[in-house]
Amino acid sequence: MSEHIVLDEPKPTTDDSTTRRAFLAAAGAAGLCYLAALGYPVYRYLASPSEMASNATAITEVTLKDAQKLAPGSALMFKFGTAPAMLIHHQDGTWVALSAVCTHLGCTVQYEPQANRIHCACHGGVYDPRTGANVSGPPPKPLKLFKVAVNETGVDVSRT
């Protein structure tokens, strides 16, 4: 006849479980800080300037005083809400207003009348200065066009 000896498993004392809980809480907090540190740059990357500018739609109209005096073949940069925009007075007397935020990664574009184009210096994107269409380079979408009303005291630009 053999005898079996059964030993009781050691039970954690209250001090052990409190220490373990405190350790897990500290590890969880450190993990959250680590995720936040990793996640914030990703958030900033995804919320690119062009996206943020497209969200700046609270203002629907802006009046540009004395802009009716803009010489043909030149452009005027202005802020439409928080985003840069441009008013172009073409040589043939027509007026165009567009967003000046490149649809690629959000750089501010420039009008180049001698080349008859709107150019983004960041990565070489080119847009049509009459329609805002993306002509070449990396921009995936056209520039947003605005409505223009010229009067004797200025130019009113509004979202369509």
| Residue ranges that bind ligand FES, judged by CB under 6 A | 102, 104-105, 107, 120, 122-123, 125, 137-139
DSSP 19: H
CB closer to ligand FES out of 54 and 68: 54
Minimal distance in Å, beta carbon 137 to ligand FES? 5
Cα–Cα distance between 157 and 84 in angstroms, integer? Answer: 13
Q: Give whichever of 76 and 107 is closer to ligand FES, judged by the CB atom.
A: 107
* CA 9, chain centre distance (Å): 60
Q: How far is the CB of 52 from ligand FES (least distance, A)?
A: 14
Phi, psi of 81 (to 5 degrees): 70, -120
Instruction: Give the list of residues 6+ apart from residue 74 with CB closer than 8 angstroms, or none.
Output: 88, 89, 111, 113
Q: Identify which of residues 89 and 144 has a Cβ nearer to ligand FES in the complex.
A: 144
Maximum alpha-carbon separation in the chain: 116
Nearest distance from C-beta of residue 55 to ligand FES, angstroms = 17
**Please, which residue, 101 or 157, has the CB nearer to ligand FES?**
101
| CB 107 to ligand FES: min, Å | 4
Q: Which amino acid is at 90?
A: H
